[in-house]
Chain A
Amino acid sequence: MASVYVIAEHRKGELGDVTLENIALAKELGEKYGLAPKAIVLASSARAFAEELADYIPEVLTIEDPSLENFLYEDYAAFLRPAVDMFGPGSIVLCPHTAFGMELMPRLSAETSLPCITDVTELELDGTRLRAKRSIYNGKIVSSVSVDASKGALVTVRTGVYQAPDKLSARGTIEGLGVSAEPVRKKTEFIGYREAPAGEVDITQASFLLSIGRGIKDEENIPRAARLAEKMHAVLSCSRPVVDKKWLGKERQVGTSGRTVKPKVYLAMGISGAFQHIAGVKGAGVFIAVNRDPKAPIFRVADYGVVEDMFKLMDALEEKIGGER
């Protein structure tokens, strides 16, 4: 029987939550198309991760090897190339669309005969055709793409789309996959991790964030936003382009590659609503979005929306507050 496999993502001894999101999708596909959902843990010591996952998925397979302590696609691929041959025709392999999945899956595709689709939000099996929905053109369009999955297929799944599933009533089984690595002459080497420096503020603790995006347009406008934030008793945060341009420090960046925040109010101005940004706003009490584009995807996640030029609104807010607050 064909199966749907989830490759567990772990780093520094911890499983990523994103693996559970993938398990949710694997189980959904399993029920719909009669595929057996399974998780695969590649690690130097896989037991603890496998135990954790067995609460959620009926079958966990492990591949243990000292080379698998820190992720390098070369080491993973050395095991996964022979592994996918064992999976059987029509099997689907899932990975999160993260630094891990983005590094591994297209490469594995090039090194095997399995096609790959990245950053998918939905999957559908139509005979041997695997069809995916993907969000493109800055979230303004959804595309349907497909590959021939008769031999199997590799997929990276957008994070934050699926919710971690409930625990199983009966725990899943854990078993070694029994695959050995293909010999490789290694050309990459893991050196170490680098933590982000703390920076001048901790936006994760703020109860009110005024967050600015590329709509701020010019470095000259930053002080204006900072002044407004201060007057509103908000902490200033931002989207990635503002940090890329060095207009604000990295510690103020909200999103997957920045910080995850949970303020009581998130007031976003001039931010379009890319998933990498939105994924960093977890459980904001009230999410207000200001954007001059009525079609901006941020309006699909915000509680309140304002279609207006952010500078006009900033002026109006400043005037209203005046000296009162």
Chain B
Amino acid sequence: MDILVCIKKVPDTADAEVILRSDGKGIEEEDLAFGINEWDNYAVEEAIRLKEKEGGKVAVVTIGTGDDEDILRRCLAMGADDAYRIDSSPFYMDDPYSVAKGLSAFAKKHSFDLIMTGVMAGDMSYAMTGPLTAGMLGIPHTTLVTSIDVKDGNISVTRELEGGLEESVRLELPALLTIQTGINEPRYVSIMGIRKVRSKEIPVLRAEELGLSAEEIGEQGAVLELESLERPPEGKEAEMISGSPDEIAEKILEIVKGVV
């Protein structure tokens, strides 16, 4: 079972200040910590577990710059066999269609039994890359996967619905799955582990080698255009309770007493 996992590097913005760039088309990245997209990390772990059970190989790929190779190396340390980088420079990376064109062109050059992506990326949260890529490849997909079971050329998965409900779906291989958080407990990657894969070569592919022209994947070929970014509008704001932790605790207990 040969598996491809498509991954992306994203900034951690939940716990950090996010500053708009002056051109209004992006955010200031200097002070943010970047890492592998949370959903993708679960996907890589799941792929490696499947390989350990079923045999085969795991490859990881990202469309990115040299700076993004650290997440590829991290996956190699986790147990992926191969890592590829598709040079992002000709891509209009704000368009999920451009990204999916790159990934599907790459997948076509190989013969993977299974392709995985995260359900979504934590930065833009489109949740499109997986199903778009599957659609371009003409292979079946399912999203929000919470468990996987392989049997005789088919794959049975559970996918998450709302309110704790799940459904089971069977797919013919090759197929694409988008992986939901919590499907497993991703293994820890040690600095030693990363050191071990330090010298492993990461092939860099150019768009032309994948048969993609700049017109298709560049801004002029974009299906979805990112026009501008702004701060969320001022809406209803919470009434802020300030003071020392002691004073705040007292106020909270008062509020609670009044209601419960």
Contact = CB atoms under 8 A, between A and B. Distances in A.
A142 B131 contact: no
Question: In this complex, which of A106, A119, A289 has the most chain B Cβ atoms within 10 angstroms of its Cβ?
Answer: A106
Give the dominant DSSP class at A's interface.
mixed
B185 A245 contact: yes
Interface in A74-130: 74, 97-99, 102-103, 106-107, 109-111, 115-119
A146 B227 contact: yes
A320 interface: yes
Contacts of B160: 99, 257
A289 B27 CA distance: 26
Contact of A265 (B100, B171, B226, B255): B255
Interface stretch (A33-41, A173-181, A303-311): A303-311
Contacts of B165: 11, 193-196
Contacts of A317: 249, 252-253
Contact of B167 (A107, A192, A258, A285): A192
Interface residues of B, number: 83
A233 B237 CA distance: 28
A259 interface: yes
A140 B12 CA distance: 12
B238 A11 contact: no
B135 A99 contact: no
A190 B228 contact: no
Contacts of B11: 137
B189 interface: no
Given A118-B127, A191-B156, A141 B230 contact: yes
B127 A102 contact: yes
B135 A142 contact: no
B164 A259 contact: yes
B172 A188 contact: yes
A99 B143 contact: yes
A251 to B, nearest CB: 8
Contacts of A134: 124-125
B252 A140 contact: no
B174 to A, nearest CB: 10
B111 interface: no
Nearest to B128: A106
Contacts of A225: none
A117 B170 CA distance: 27
Given A285-B259, A300-B232, A304-B239, A138 B122 contact: yes
Interface residues of A, number: 97
A137 B224 contact: no
Contact of B225 (A74, A145, A300): A145
9 contacts: A99-B160, A102-B119, A135-B125, A138-B18, A188-B171, A195-B165, A295-B18, A299-B238, A304-B255
Interface of B: 11, 13-18, 20, 27, 96-97, 100, 119, 122-128, 130-132, 134-136, 139-144, 156, 158-172, 175, 181-182, 185, 223-233, 235-242, 244-246, 248-250, 252-253, 255-256, 259-260
The 7 closest A-B pairs by CB, nearest first: A110-B135, A196-B164, A305-B238, A244-B182, A316-B249, A316-B245, A191-B168
Interface of A: 11, 16, 70, 72-74, 97-99, 102-103, 106-107, 109-111, 115-119, 131, 134-148, 187-196, 207-208, 214-215, 232-233, 240-241, 243-246, 250-251, 253, 256-260, 264-265, 267, 272, 285-289, 293, 295, 297, 299-308, 312-313, 315-317, 319-321
Given A137-B11, A190-B168, A244-B182, 10 more contacts: A136-B123, A138-B18, A143-B226, A147-B225, A191-B168, A196-B165, A214-B15, A246-B185, A286-B256, A293-B15
